[in-house]
Amino acid sequence: MTMPNISFSDKCQRHLEFIEAFMGKRLMKHVIRNTNVMDQEFCGALCFMEHNCVSFNLMTTSETGKHKCELNNATHKEQEEDLEENPNYEYHGAKVRGS
């Protein structure tokens, strides 16, 4: 399944573009916040609002209609050894511009 690119930016802060998605993967050891969300786009928006967030894991299975969203302070490019197989998740890494 191809995931759409999701991009968030504001005029003077930073720009996050979620250009990489890995189905069945989860970045471990870098979670800075957990929350429940209705969809992938809201998880991406939460990542944008969290200053240290540069990627997120989204639990794809849900019995309640909400999905676990894990915000990460690292990407798989920096921490490739921490990207693990997990069929219940999808991982989204961002390209970050600005500060």
CATH of the domain at 65: 3.50.4.10
Task: State the Cα–Cα distance between residues 33 and 17, nearest whole angstrom.
Answer: 19
Q: What is the domain range of residue 74?
A: 18-98
What is the reported pLDDT for 15? 78
Rounded CA separation 1/71 (Å): 22
The lowest-confidence range among 2-6, 27-31, 68-72 is: 2-6
Decide if 41 is inside a domain. Answer: yes
Q: Would you say 92 and 18 are in contact if contact means Cβ atoms under 8 Å apart?
A: yes
User: What's the domain count of the chain?
Assistant: 1
| Spatial separation of the C-alpha atoms in residues 70 and 34, rounded to whole Å | 5
Token pair for 98: 């600005």
**Where is 2: in which H helix or E strand?**
none
Kindly tell me if the per-residue pLDDT of 80 is higher than 60. Answer: yes
Mean pLDDT to the nearest integer, 40-55: 92
pLDDT > 70: percent of the chain? 82
Let me know if residue 8 belongs to a domain.
no
Q: Does residue 76 fall inside a structural domain?
A: yes
CA atoms of 70 and 35, how far apart (whole Å): 7
- Does residue 7 fall inside a structural domain? no
Coil/strand/helix, residue 43: helix
- Specify if 2 maps to a domain: no
Minimal CA–CA distance to 54: which of 20, 3, 4?
20
| pTM of structure | 0.82
